[in-house]
């Protein structure tokens, strides 16, 4: 049974508060799904040890041609979160470069950027732990 991308998108949505995404969802669902699909595609490249073939998918129907486990869906949603956080951190870094230091303090405090960096780093660690646990659960130790 195919697994719709929407399953992963729903898990991702539960992990993020983003006014831009909320507005995009309300105003233009196609653009919203395109944005989330780009995050998902970036996430897919990082999940190397998935038992299911993640390249076996239909991008037009927006579904995987196999049934992903809940653990696989969760890992992909966390990897999407990593991609989203990477964009957030990069946006702040670009803003810092474009503004003078006094303007930057007013519009995007350094503490905000550091907090987002820390969150990104913790999320990367979380995704790596999830993938390691997944790999260990699915590893054939040859004990049978």
132 in a domain, yes or no? yes
38 in a domain, yes or no? yes
Q: What is the pLDDT of residue 16?
A: 92
142 in a domain, yes or no? no
144 in a domain, yes or no? no
23 in a domain, yes or no? yes
24 in a domain, yes or no? yes
How many domains does the chain fold into?
1
Return the structure tokens found at 122: 């913790």
26 in a domain, yes or no? yes
Q: What is the pLDDT of residue 97?
A: 57
Residue 48 CA to residue 44 CA, distance in Å, equals 8
Q: What is the pLDDT of residue 96?
A: 58
User: pLDDT in tens for each of the 144 residues of the chain?
Assistant: 899 999 999 999 999 988 889 999 999 999 999 999 999 999 999 998 999 999 999 999 999 999 999 999 999 999 999 999 888 877 665 555 555 556 555 555 666 777 778 888 888 898 999 888 888 887 766 655
Residue 4 CA to residue 26 CA, distance in Å, equals 20
Segments of 19-125 assigned E as strands: 57-58, 63-64
Residue 121 CA to residue 85 CA, distance in Å, equals 9
100 in a domain, yes or no? yes
38 close to 45: Cβ distance less than 8 angstroms: no
Structural domain for 52, as ranges? 3-137
Q: What is the pLDDT of residue 15?
A: 93
């Amino acid at each position: 049974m195919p697994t719709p991308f929407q399953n992963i998108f729903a898990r991702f949505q539960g992990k993020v508060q983003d006014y831009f995404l909320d507005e995009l969802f309300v105003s233009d669902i196609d653009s919203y799904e395109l944005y989330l699909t780009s995050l998902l595609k970036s996430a897919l490249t990082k999940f190397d040890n998935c038992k299911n073939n993640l390249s076996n998918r239909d991008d037009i129907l927006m579904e995987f041609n196999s049934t992903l486990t809940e653990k696989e869906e969760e890992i992909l949603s966390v990897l999407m979160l990593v991609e989203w956080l990477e964009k957030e951190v990069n946006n702040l870094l670009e803003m810092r470069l474009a503004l003078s230091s006094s303007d930057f303090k007013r519009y995007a405090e350094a503490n905000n950027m550091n907090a987002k960096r820390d969150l990104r780093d913790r999320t990367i660690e979380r995704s790596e732990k999830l993938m390691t646990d997944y790999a260990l659960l699915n590893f054939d130790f040859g004990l049978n």
